[in-house]
Amino acid sequence: MVIQKKKIEFFETKLVDFFQKSGRVELPWRKKGINAYEVWVSEIMLQQTQVSRVISYYERFLKKFPTVQKLAKASWEEFLPYYQGLGYYARGRNMLATAKKVVTEYQGVFPANATELRLLPGVGEYTAGAILSFAYGQETLAWDTNLKRVIGRFFYGDKKAEVDMRFFETHLKTKRKILNAALMDFGSSICTGRPKCNTCPLASKCLYLQEEGKQEIRTKKQEEIFALSEAEYATVILHEKHQKYFSSLTKTYRPFNLPRGYTTRGAIKDWFLQKYGLVVAVRPSHARKIVGQEKTLLVNAQILTGEQSFSVFSKQAVKEYNKDSL
């Protein structure tokens, strides 16, 4: 597939313009002069957690642990009150392990190359790219799901396309610190799972839109026969006595899509307890579907105890979602 230079230039120009007008430059981890430790803290906290939820945690955390040296000295008991509520406690333990490793093996300075960064516990390709770009000013792309989705749709017509990463590393000319931030914001606000094509500044040259999303069209939902033990994912409808339905999004109802492997009733209970501090009752799966190519269970769960700040939706909103989705 040949990608024309003019299309690349159009892509970059529109993205930079979008970022200048609508970029979330006020976020605390977008400040000038941010260091590698501060970038790392933000990126770890942002993994599978909404930006609005992370801001207060991030600011409070850095007041308590302003440097990697301070964090490296902390015990789990000292660390936990400043992390608790973000969930995924293995992620928290990796933070402590990484801090100690940076102090003992790198003299308190995060490595400035991807190979060594990815040796740190919990640091993958994307987090390494973000540190190199935002903290060290290196010209590398941070390949997160937003970036891959935007590039995949615009140039290939499919968010899950096999993107030639080396090609884009070479041919995209915009400063990576700006381009990475623009792609993150664009992918989380415009080119989302359900893209807002009618407001998209890239629409006129987007292959996804030109093809009317045909490469992403999934077969209409249909019952698939697979054993419970073969399930890979669970989609959970969280409710209170089937009168109030909850979503982590504010404007549009979406159920909770759990990470891979959380498919048993016990695992689902553990996930809500660890991530949100909620005790829930989980009903047996009421349907099994193939979503994309992923074997997914559909599950209802009711909150028993615990405080939450989710958005509340009606049963009608859930029905409309079910009609349009899976």
Which positions are annotated as active-site residues?
43
Residue 186 · residue 21 · CB < 8 Å? no
Residue 153 · residue 195 · CB < 8 Å? yes
Strand residues in 64-178 grouped as ranges (E): none
| DSSP letter for each residue of 221-287 | P-B----GGG--EEEEEEEETTTEEEESSSSS---EEPPTT--SHHHHHHHHHHHH--EEEEPPP-E
Residue 299 · residue 236 · CB < 8 Å? yes
Residue 216 · residue 158 · CB < 8 Å? yes
State the first-to-last Cα distance of the chain, in angstroms, to the nearest integer.
31
Residue 86 · residue 92 · CB < 8 Å? yes
Q: Can you read off the two tokens belonging to residue 154?
A: 């615009």
Residue 295 · residue 226 · CB < 8 Å? yes
DSSP letter for 115, please. H
Other Cβ atoms less than 10 A from the Cβ of 126: the count is 19
DSSP H helical segments within 125-228, as ranges? 125-130, 145-151, 165-171, 176-189, 207-210
